[in-house]
Amino acid sequence: MIIRAFPTILAVAILTFGGCKRSTDPLESRSRTVAHRQGVEPSANHVSEPGVQSYADVVDRIAPAVITVRSERRIRAPHQFPFMFDPFFRQFFGDGGEPSASGLAPESQVQHALGSGVIIRADGQIITNHHVTDGAEGIKVDLNDQRTFTANLVGSDPPSDLAVLKINASNLPVLSLGDSSRVRVGDVCLAVGNPMGIGETVTAGIISAKGRRTGLSDGSIEDFLQTDAAINQGNSGGALVNTRGELIGINSQILSPSGGNIGIGFAIPSNMARDVFTQLTTSGRVRRGQLGVGVQRVTSDLAASLGLHDVRGVLINSVLPGSPADRAGLRPGDVITAVNGTPVNDPNALRNLIASTAPGTEITLTIFRDRHEQQIKSKVRELSSKEQTSESAPAGAPRGGGVLGITVEALTPEIAKQLGLPANTRGIVVTGLAPAGPAAEAGVETGDVILQVNRQPVQSPEQVKAAISRSGSRPVLLLLQRQGQNIFVTVTPQR
């Protein structure tokens, strides 16, 4: 399961303190802990560069700029059965807790969360994760020199899981942002944060992969650096740096079947963090571009059927009516091979490239159609905030149910053939699942074909989105076709 790297959360106020365990609590369920393997021993073949025996000098420079973020939020206690504390009814419902001095259940709780952050401006501007501060009513920042400040939230961006804080201080130590596009798989990296609230900790590892997508962040604006540097709960928003002491990533998530570290962690690239920081501090919001297409990866079978001599580009499987792509004349079956001359071979990379393009910018798309390449110009439009956090993925990505933890695509004849389905099958195919998402937990599998949502037939990702949206917080009833059999599954949206 993929877990957002968030801190230890404690529930206080007439409640006992809780440990770092999985919870269905609204705030705690959103917490994501960037965790990695603990106790990694430095060795020449794992963390050391030739001739390098210590990173102490680098740590001395970077450690003061990594801080602890403490946030709190007051929530109402769950509504209880009105006679829960009546002795007669309690014999049927069990011990649901003790009443307060007034004889009533507590009406509110205070939740405390612990995360990390990075100072990137000497005047007190800090980058952390959105999920560290999401819904917080009070935020405190503890500096490396033992000083504590009240922080103001400058802005937050759920799609990228980034937030900017400001404290009233000056001449602070800072971390300079490196160029994450220059990071290579195999590069040594250091992770800095406050795991489990024990104090600032530095661990080492390598960059394991680039361009990863987990499907967990709201809006799925994801381009993660994957690392095995050991980090744990409380490292959310902390720094991932190279051996030159440059910030190359903000730690955000882990992949784990149990919530513990298995050495697969994800950090938001510094180039994305730089762009989000600039927009949040100048305008208070992040603007992203949209093309209006659904795309999928080109397989060898698809390449052969389309007349491509090699496996490249991304295949358009749907075009949003009235979108820039629609007005430019793009259509399903086109293969986008380059944007402004830059080759694209991955749906996630295309989505991020379009999203990072300023709305109103004209771009040149190189497409493969009818066994020939041609160029088409299109002007990118702005992706609305509603679209960024809806079930529909941003431009250039398969559309799906974000609140269900799935991504879906239109069922093309090629996909139906790959799945062994009859050519006349109508529905939407599940192409991706968040391992810890509601759909995965309900038993939905990749390759399932969604025939109906809440008893209504669906034949486009947009219809899936609309049907899920109409359900609100109620469970969604899906009719799936799997290996020739139809099954119903109910999935409770994660709001």
- Residue of 146, 160, 342, 361 lying closest to 267 (CA atoms): 160
CB contact set of 16 (below 8 Å; sequence gap of 6+): none
Please provide the DSSP assignment of 54-78 as one string: --HHHHHHHGGGEEEEEEEEEEEPP
Q: Which residues are catalytic?
A: 131, 161, 236
The two three-digit tokens of residue 487, written as one number: 């099954």
* Residue pair 158/130 in contact by the 8 Å Cβ criterion: yes
CA distances (Å), origin 481, targets 177, 368, 404, 420, 421: 48, 33, 18, 12, 10
First vs last Cα of the chain: how many Å apart? Answer: 18
Q: Which residue has the tokens 């025996």?
A: 53
The number of CA neighbours under 13 Å toward the Cβ of 306 is: 28
Q: How far does Cα 211 stand from its chain's mean position?
A: 13
Q: Are strands 224-227 and 162-166 parallel, antiparallel or unpaired?
A: unpaired
How many angstroms separate the CA atoms of 246 and 242, rounded? Answer: 6
